[in-house]
Chains A and B, each alone.
Chain A
Amino acid sequence: MDAAILLLVVGGLGFLAWRAGAALNYRWDFGPVWGFVARHDQERGWVANLLLQGLLTTIRVSFWAAIVAVIAGVVMGVARTSRALLPRLIAGFYVETIRNIPPLVFIFIFYFFVTSQILPALGIEDWIRRQHPDTLAWIALLFGPPQFAASVIAAIICLGLFEGAYVTEIVRAGIQSLPRGQWEASQALGLGRIATLRHVILPQAMARTVPPLTGQAVSLVKDSSIVSLVSIQDLAFLGNEVAATTNRVFETWILVAAFYFIVCAALSLLAARLERRIAGRR
């Protein structure tokens, strides 16, 4: 029975692929696109070309944005469960504003605000240009080519704050899922609110939030493709460039999809292992 269903599905997919191939007047040719993944240089041997460079940018942006999101999420998540009204209002406003705006609209507005107001005020761009070559090498490693670093940082802030709203809700759920008895017992032991959070509540809440947080991390990698709209040279942006240059639209995007899949699947596998380890420790 299973074999029959499997056969039917595979057959169906094959038929669809054949139909698509027949309907589209298209000569498949991955050749030119592979050249943009990596190429052989006379002097330096194999070097990463545009698509791999884009993948690196995507990983960098996702990594830093995840850190921004976790910091924003934990601070706002704790604020959301606070007893005082003001922190609750601020955190509530943050979460509701961001969750009710499409990511694309948010990034357009916020990115132009950050790049035209906040970054010039901080003078990051000029600061980067004045750095010693050694420092520049570090900046290149952490944020990519120095001349684009300021824009990348702006995009990281935008993406991090956007995903932070979802992390806030995960953290809030984690804190609120703990029985009231935990708070009461800590109080009975004479612990203050901050000490209770630090030693009792957050460690337990964190263990509970690991599975949804890793899911959110995979989501973040995929969402990171929206930074291509504000011209960050990530995988999606450079994919577009390669498609425009080679005229091999489908081939390029299939390869780009495969790259995203590999990163996200690897992250999911890692998450599954982490979850098992935490479950084992408990």
Chain B
Amino acid sequence: MTETNGFRRRFIAPAAGGLAALGAFAFGRPAAAQGADARATLAATSMIEEVKRRGTLRVGMSTFVPWAFRNRAGELIGYEIDVANRLAQDMGVRAEFVPTAWDGIVPALLAGRFDAIIGGMSITPARNLNANFTSAYSATGVDIAASRRLAQGMTTFDAWNRPNVTLVGRRGTSGITAAQRLFPRATIRQFDDDAQSILEVVNGRAHGMIGSVPRPLFATLDNPDTLFRPFENPIVRQADAMAVRKSDPDALNFLNNWILLRQLDGWLEERQAYWFSAREWRDQVPG
């Protein structure tokens, strides 16, 4: 082993250095020109350039009420749909939505299925290791909708952190991560969407459903006889942002500044109020 390392140090490294020097000499390119080339390549491969060339912004998302879901006509509506459409409009392109299973959405972004994830994705270190996040543009949190029959009076964290407590939630969401961290002794069962989790609690097969604000609140409003909210405030506070592939400073700069401007003119706040507070959009949805 040492022998090989010695060999590498003594022979290969100088040889490689010599080759590089030779190459630089042969092509006669100053370092500054190379830097400009690298910049040009980086800029040309930026998601922003690709979107302008293509004329469409491809957006990865998944169905979460009220971030992105379907109206009666089967069209996508919701907070993040508004955000993506406005962003595309400001870029002078069209938004194209790619509905994607939530637990596979980061690999799909890395595989190039779409340009950005705009779907109410909370920033987590685990996700951030694989993708870049923009500045946060909506503050959310994790909340619980609990069964009136099973979880009456369970209003402390300790009451939920017991082996005989069953919590349900959607696979791959930050709600599940929060539940695993806060209630390590509870049984956590994962479903493919929020509706199935809520159904489990309504049917009395789980003590509570954990999910992002305001979904648990909406569930209790829909099922006032069977569900209640054991905690006044969100049990974990989070921030949602857009996710893009790594090593794309142009995209991050553009998106961050777009978010800043839409925060300053109050547009994001107004949209958030519309989708998250009163459910004025209810007549657009069946059921």
Distance between B77 CB and nearest chain A CB, rounded to angstroms: 10
Q: Chain A at the B interface: mostly helix, strand, loop or mixed?
A: helix
Asked whether, in the complex, the Cβ of B98 is within 8 Å of the Cβ of A36, the reply is no
Across the interface, which residues of B come within 8 angstroms of A249, CB to CB? 195-196, 199
- Count: A-B pairs, CB below 8 Å: 95
A240 and B100 contact, Cβ closer than 8 Å, known pairs A24-B203, A231-B108: no
Residue of A nearest to B170 (CB): A244
Give 8 CB contacts A-B under 8 Å.
Answer: A25-B226, A39-B72, A230-B104, A231-B104, A240-B192, A245-B286, A246-B195, A246-B285
Across the interface, which residues of A come within 8 angstroms of B98, CB to CB? 147-148, 231
Binding site for A on B (CB under 8 A): 54, 56, 58, 63-65, 69-70, 72-74, 96, 98-101, 104, 107-108, 110-113, 192-196, 198-199, 202-204, 222, 226, 285-287
Asked whether, in the complex, the Cβ of A233 is within 8 Å of the Cβ of B99, the reply is yes
Asked whether, in the complex, the Cβ of A247 is within 8 Å of the Cβ of B222, the reply is yes
Across the interface, which residues of A come within 8 angstroms of B64, CB to CB? 244
Is A50 part of the contact surface with B, judged by Cβ < 8 Å? yes
A sample of 13 more A-B contacts (CB under 8 A), given A115-B111, A116-B112, is A32-B287, A33-B286, A49-B74, A116-B110, A230-B104, A231-B101, A231-B108, A240-B192, A241-B63, A244-B63, A245-B285, A246-B286, A247-B199
Across the interface, which residues of A come within 8 angstroms of B65, CB to CB? 244-245
| Residue in contact with B286 in the complex, picked from A35, A53, A230, CB distance below 8 Å | A35
Across the interface, which residues of B come within 8 angstroms of A112, CB to CB? 107, 111
Binding site for B on A (CB under 8 A): 24-26, 29, 31-33, 35-36, 39, 41, 49-50, 53, 112, 115-116, 120, 129, 147-148, 151, 228-231, 233, 237, 240-249
Give CA–CA (A174, B90) in the complex, Å: 61
Asked whether, in the complex, the Cβ of A116 is within 8 Å of the Cβ of B111, the reply is yes
Give CA–CA (A148, B192) in the complex, Å: 22
Asked whether, in the complex, the Cβ of B198 is within 8 Å of the Cβ of A49, the reply is no
Across the interface, which residues of B come within 8 angstroms of A241, CB to CB? 63, 70, 99
Asked whether, in the complex, the Cβ of B287 is within 8 Å of the Cβ of A29, the reply is yes
Across the interface, which residues of B come within 8 angstroms of A120, CB to CB? 112
Across the interface, which residues of B come within 8 angstroms of A32, CB to CB? 286-287
Across the interface, which residues of A come within 8 angstroms of B104, CB to CB? 229-231
Across the interface, which residues of A come within 8 angstroms of B111, CB to CB? 112, 115-116
Give CA–CA (A245, B63) in the complex, Å: 7
Asked whether, in the complex, the Cβ of B193 is within 8 Å of the Cβ of A115, the reply is no
| Residue in contact with A247 in the complex, picked from B70, B101, B192, B195, CB distance below 8 Å | B195
Asked whether, in the complex, the Cβ of B100 is within 8 Å of the Cβ of A39, the reply is no
Give CA–CA (A246, B64) in the complex, Å: 11
B74, B96, B98, B113: most-surrounded residue (chain A CB, <10 A): B74
Across the interface, which residues of A come within 8 angstroms of B195, CB to CB? 243-247, 249
Give CA–CA (A50, B63) in the complex, Å: 13
Distance between A122 CB and nearest chain B CB, rounded to angstroms: 14
| Residue in contact with B287 in the complex, picked from A31, A115, A116, A228, CB distance below 8 Å | A31
Across the interface, which residues of A come within 8 angstroms of B113, CB to CB? 115, 151, 231
Across the interface, which residues of B come within 8 angstroms of A229, CB to CB? 101, 104
Residue of A nearest to B69 (CB): A245
Distance between B99 CB and nearest chain A CB, rounded to angstroms: 6
Residue of B nearest to A150 (CB): B113
Across the interface, which residues of B come within 8 angstroms of A231, CB to CB? 98-101, 104, 108, 113
Distance between B51 CB and nearest chain A CB, rounded to angstroms: 12
Across the interface, which residues of A come within 8 angstroms of B226, CB to CB? 25
Asked whether, in the complex, the Cβ of B74 is within 8 Å of the Cβ of A53, the reply is yes
Asked whether, in the complex, the Cβ of A244 is within 8 Å of the Cβ of B286, the reply is no
Asked whether, in the complex, the Cβ of B101 is within 8 Å of the Cβ of A50, the reply is no
Across the interface, which residues of B come within 8 angstroms of A244, CB to CB? 63-65, 69, 193-195
Across the interface, which residues of A come within 8 angstroms of B96, CB to CB? 147
Give CA–CA (A249, B104) in the complex, Å: 22
Give CA–CA (A31, B98) in the complex, Å: 27
Give CA–CA (A198, B246) in the complex, Å: 54
| Residue in contact with B54 in the complex, picked from A41, A129, A246, CB distance below 8 Å | A129
B56, B73, B195: most-surrounded residue (chain A CB, <10 A): B195
